[in-house]
């Protein structure tokens, strides 16, 4: 089956939109989604940002939240909750999700994290919150502790983030087709899928 | 007729896409487009950019040009030409277009400038190029000289740029509905029109 790689960051608002709709779209299009959690922090720091661009440029942040409210409503998602603090610290969730990519439960865990973050306002940096989300998808809460110590999984997340940079990624969500085309932003998801199918 | 205000900057790549398609879409939707050339330079400088973000963040620039190539092709536009230098110096073109907004020929002039810039690779800062574009739409080439000296029109462009900032604009193209909703980016044009109609 033709694959589309979905690169996402748990702190990223627009990644939330894609995570909640990508499987339904891919199913209709006959595509396989490869879920790739990665870290935007190192990339943004290389770009000279100390925090999210949405915090550093006030008008851009104000607009993004309004845009997200409209889009969440349009996609039939719950009313958008603005995480506090924003951005949330996403490292532990990304490490857990990386384990999930090796064990097959990354999609369910990812959706649970985004739901907690942007619909319920929970702290996704909190190990207890993450343990609850794991239990909610039928996984063992001990994965949280494993994510803190499993060096191979830490290295895998780091390697994938370096791979993202090598692919030209500079934001999230991003989508990469088998022939190497890069698409950035939830609003490019349909275009990425059309490209993947034609390839 | 319900109005949608179209804010654009001549140096902006994605504004080109909107300028070439907005009238056809608005005609189908029964909307009136208000054309508003403004200057992004002062806004970007306030955000801490010395040049275009597409120049300052290399990966973002590489992506933007590829994205623009794909979108121009998808919209049936000529193969995209990358202006050199990029961004083009847009002040004189914006002053001329501001006169055009008062005299009714801003849409035709705007499309001619974008076509010259992104399909033909002409220097849109060159008064001779702008004079030729004016003649091409049936206007007098002397408008170029007028644009350099007409203080009322210079002030109008400055006032509108300040208005753009007050409306929360931070990039181009942007669209503002009669009830004050702001939409940013060519990929939000259809959504902005749907909002305008429902308002």
Show Cβ contacts of residue A27 under 8 Å, excluding neighbours closer than 6 positions. none
The pLDDT of residue A53: 84
Residues A93, A130: contact at Cβ < 8 Å? yes
A41/chain B closest Cα distance in angstroms: 15
Sign (positive/negative) of CA torsion A98, A100, A104, A108?
A: negative
The pLDDT of residue A150: 97
Q: Do A60 and B170 touch (CB under 8 A)?
A: yes
Q: Do B70 and A184 touch (CB under 8 A)?
A: no
Q: Chain A residue closest to B182 (CA)?
A: A63
B38 has a pLDDT exceeding 80 = yes
A181 to chain B: which residues are within 8 Å by CB?
66
Tell me what the mean pLDDT of segment B45-69 comes to: 90
Structure tokens at B44: 């970007």
Q: Chain B residue closest to A71 (CA)?
A: B191
Q: Chain B residue closest to A185 (CA)?
A: B187
A contact test, residue of B17, B42, B57, B192 with most A CBs within 10 A: B57
Put simply, whether B63 touches A (Cβ < 8 Å) is yes
Question: B124-183 pLDDT, tens per residue?
Answer: 999 999 999 999 999 999 999 999 999 999 999 999 999 999 999 999 999 999 999 999
The pLDDT of residue B179: 96
The pLDDT of residue B48: 81
Tell me what the mean pLDDT of segment B79-96 comes to: 97
Q: Which residues of chain A have pLDDT under 70?
A: 199
pTM for this prediction: 0.95
Comparing CA positions, the residue from B198, B137, B172, B186 lying closest to residue B42 is B172
The pLDDT of residue B159: 97
**Residue that has been written with the tokens 């609850």 in this structure:** A132
Residues A128, A73: contact at Cβ < 8 Å? no
d(CA B196, CA B199): 5
The pLDDT of residue A49: 80
Instruction: Tell me the pLDDT of chain B averaged across its residues.
Output: 96
Task: Report the residue from B47, B62, B170 with minimal CB separation from A63.
Answer: B170
Q: Do A171 and B66 touch (CB under 8 A)?
A: no
Show Cβ contacts of residue A2 under 8 Å, excluding neighbours closer than 6 positions. A30, A31, A32, A178, A196, A197, A199
CA dihedral A41, A46, A52, A53 (to 10 degrees): -150
B171 to chain A: which residues are within 8 Å by CB?
60
- CB contacts under 8 A, B 67-86 vs A, are 67, 70, 74
Tell me what the mean pLDDT of segment B58-82 comes to: 97
Q: Parallel, antiparallel, or unpaired: how do β-strands B182-184 and B174-177 relate? A: antiparallel
Share of chain A above pLDDT 90, in %: 90
B191 to chain A: which residues are within 8 Å by CB?
70, 74
Put simply, whether B57 touches A (Cβ < 8 Å) is yes
The pLDDT of residue B186: 98
B170 to chain A: which residues are within 8 Å by CB?
57, 59-60, 63
Q: What is the DSSP string of chain B?
A: --EEEEEE-TT-HHHHHHHHHHHHHHHHHT-EEEEEE--SHHHHHHTT-SS-HHHHSHHHHHHHHHHHHHHHHHTTPPPP---SSSSPP-HHHHHHHHHHHHHT-HHHHHHHHHHHHHTS---TT-HHHHHHHHHHTT--TTHHHHHHH-HHHHHHHHHHHHHHHHTT--SSSEEEETT--EEESGGGHHHHHHHHHH-
d(CA B125, CA B90): 6
Secondary structure element (H or E) that encloses residue A44, with its range: helix A41-46
Q: Chain B residue closest to A188 (CA)?
A: B187
A184 to chain B: which residues are within 8 Å by CB?
63, 67
Q: Do B171 and A60 touch (CB under 8 A)?
A: yes
How would residue B44 be classed by pLDDT, with cut points 50, 70 and 90? confident
The pLDDT of residue B37: 98
């Amino acid at each position: 089956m033709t694959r589309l790689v979905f690169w996402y960051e748990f702190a990223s608002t627009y990644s939330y939109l894609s995570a909640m709709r990508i499987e339904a779209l891919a199913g209709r299009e006959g595509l396989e989604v490869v879920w790739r959690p990665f870290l935007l922090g190192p990339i943004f720091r290389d770009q000279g940002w100390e925090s999210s661009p949405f915090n550093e440029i006030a008008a851009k942040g104000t607009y993004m939240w309004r845009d997200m409210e409209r889009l969440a409503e349009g996609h039939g998602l719950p009313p958008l909750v603005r995480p506090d603090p924003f951005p949330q610290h996403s490292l532990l969730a990304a490490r857990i999700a990386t384990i999930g990519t090796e064990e097959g439960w990354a999609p369910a865990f990812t959706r649970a994290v985004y739901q907690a973050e942007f619909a319920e306002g929970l702290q996704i940096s909190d190990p207890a919150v993450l343990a609850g989300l794991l239990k909610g998808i039928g996984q063992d809460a001990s994965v949280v502790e494993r994510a803190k110590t499993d060096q191979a999984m830490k290295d895998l997340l780091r390697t994938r983030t370096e791979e993202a940079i090598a692919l030209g990624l500079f934001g999230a969500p991003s989508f990469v087709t088998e022939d190497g085309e890069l698409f950035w932003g939830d609003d490019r998801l349909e275009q990425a899928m059309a490209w993947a199918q034609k390839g």
